[in-house]
Amino acid sequence: MSLPTLHAERQPTLLNDDQVREFIANGFLRLTPDVDPSLHVEIDALVRYACEKESWYGNNIVSRIPKLHHIVRCPVVDGAIESIAGPGYYFHPHRAVHINTPVEEREELTPEIDGPKMGKGSIAGSGWHQDAQSPLSRARHHVPRYLIGFYYPHETPLDMGPTRIQAGSHLYAHPVAPHGVVLPDVVPAGTFLLVHFDMVHAGFPNHSDRTRYMVKFVFARTRNPTGPSWNNVDASWKRPEACIPEFDLPETWSYIWHWMRGEPQVQTGQDTATVDEYVERLNGPDQPARLTSTYALAELQEVERLAAILEAAAGCDRHERTLATDERGQPVPRDDVRGYPRRWNERAIVMDDATYALAACGQQAIPTLERLLRHDDPWIQINAAFALGEVGTPARGSVAALAALLDSPHQQVVRQALDAIGAIGEGIGPALPAIEHLLTTTNLEWQEPQVMRGWTGENQVRMNAALALLNAINAGEHTEEIERILTGSLGDPNGYVSAIATEALTRIGTPTATRAALTFLSDRRWDDTLLGRVKAF
């Protein structure tokens, strides 16, 4: 079989307006990669052999099976990701194989069931959930900054347990009673689901006699939109004909649509509640109501009212986690998610609804948000930093104020400030000294593992710092200094940092940056032709 041609040789197949509208409302798209079908057969065999005969590869599964790159790079998949996440998106180093083994006893189940029993050895969670970031948590974004790709190398009928999703749930603050459940009768071999990172989804039991495999990928936006990145013809938002959710969110969906077009928010005026009614619905259990209220208050530019709502949360130590306990009542590095409180956690942080509204207010909210950065409560600082990051390029003048937070003793504040600097993507100069310090020194206060897998706060601080530098490359500012800092971080003990640094150096593209990236990768080259029984060397 001849290998598919590489990404650079084939133009991406961009989405059209209807497809982008469907993604905004439903939260996912079903794609058919334009590759030779035999490639799926080959990848399926390789995935099964790797998982059943070798070891658990985790993030290294694509290095073990490089042909997975041909799926991600094919014009249909690459074009869809570019359409949603923008040009220059980043293929995130977190990857995983989701294994769904056959259950011992078959049960009659409804698609909505929460947490049915899975087969022994399955790692596909069957409880309704929104994914955590890896290695540690980050904020949930309403606009598409992070995407998930679910790739099925083999045909997956209902009996084999395809992943279920709840259409429209990617904007929820937490899972609610299941509705809009999509559970297909059959997923054809090679299907690629492109999903908003915050989609509520769950595994389903495998009632067949064969293990189901699905490969998960993550993609990250690296620049703010300045115009449509898809084949855009119509400038207006319209509810898509293939809209699955029964509710309607014209204010929310319209905001996301125009944000993706690189435009300021457009007034819809469709909801006619009072300001007090909108405020009452914020952070409430009714997800459509809280979302409508969030973006209606943004349309009304209720900046000071929203700031007051956010400041009312001060003094509650929401920057600290609530930990679960073991059978002896001792705290363990795992979040107690009962009730899904709006506070820091190590899965994914949902900000106050007032914060999302302030972000949607755009440039008008910048002075107020900069004031909130100076608040003495870390949770307020975290929310204000997030909102400035969501404002994006117009907030480039706020980078100096955000950089001041990089000296915070709270790793949570530092992490969110770095993410905000990366989301703004321009004017990074005032933050570079502090970013270099964070990447080159050890903070003894941040060495406690935050999750059962052992990742520390400092691990995530450094990863966020590297991503901020990656995003800043697009602006073409301080390139020499950024290159020097990235080159020095190639040996970081956190593999995510070195992966991001390598990508960033290749994007800089100077002879010295390219040489540093190639040397790092060449030193770690893996000869997979030696995997046979005889060819040991």
What one-character-per-residue DSSP string does 400-423 give? HHHHHGGG-S-HHHHHHHHHHHHH
Between strands 200-202 and 90-91, the pairing is unpaired
Question: Cα–Cα distances in Å, from 276 out to 162, 248, 309?
Answer: 44, 21, 12
* Token pair for 207: 């009632």
Query: Using an 8 Å Cβ cutoff, are 151 and 215 in contact?
Result: yes
The number of C-alpha atoms within 13 Å of 275 and in the hemisphere containing its C-beta is 13
CA-nearest of 204, 236, 224 to 102 is 204
CA–centroid distance for 250 within its chain: 24
Give me 524's structure tokens: 């770690």
In one-letter notation, the amino acid at residue 153 is: P
Question: How far, rounded to the nearest angstrom, does the alpha carbon of residue 252 sit from its chain's CA centroid?
Answer: 19
Query: According to the model, what pLDDT value does residue 3 have?
Result: 34
Omega within 30 of 0 (cis) for the link into 178: no
Helices (H), 430-528: 432-440, 457-472, 479-488, 495-508, 511-523
Q: Annotate 166-228 with DSSP letters as a single string.
A: ETTGGG-SS--S--SEE--SEE-TT-EEEEETT-EEE---B-SSS-EEEEEEEEE--S--SS-
Say which DSSP state 491 is in: T
Tell me how many degrees the CA angle 200-318-146 measures, rounded to the nearest 5: 35
Calpha distance 150→141 (Å, rounded): 20
pTM to 2 decimals? 0.96
pLDDT given at position 410: 98
DSSP assigned state of 52: I
Report the helix count and the strand count for the chain, using DSSP H and E.
19, 14
In tens digits, the chain (537 residues) has pLDDT values of 333 334 446 899 999 999 999 999 999 999 999 999 999 999 999 999 999 999 889 999 999 999 999 999 999 999 999 999 999 999 999 999 999 999 998 889 999 999 999 999 999 889 999 999 999 999 999 999 999 999 999 999 999 999 999 999 999 999 999 999 999 999 999 999 999 999 999 999 999 999 999 999 999 999 999 999 999 999 999 999 999 999 999 999 999 999 999 998 777 777 778 999 999 999 999 999 999 999 999 999 999 999 999 999 999 999 999 999 999 999 999 999 999 999 999 999 999 999 999 999 999 999 999 999 999 999 999 999 999 999 999 999 999 999 999 999 999 999 999 999 999 999 999 999 999 999 999 999 999 999 999 999 999 999 999 999 999 999 999 999 999 999 999 999 999 999 999 999 999 999 999 999 999 999 999 887 877 666 656
Give the 3-state secondary structure of residue 508: helix
| Cross-strand partners of 195 | 28, 148
> Residue 96: in which H helix or E strand, if any?
strand 96-100
What is the per-residue pLDDT for 2?
33
Beta-carbon count within 10 A of 88 CB: 15
Task: Say what angle helices 303-311 and 378-391 make with each other, to 10 degrees.
Answer: 150
pLDDT for position 526:
85
- Give the model's pLDDT for residue 9: 64
pLDDT at 537: 66
Q: If you ran DSSP here, which 8-state letter would residue 74 be given?
A: S
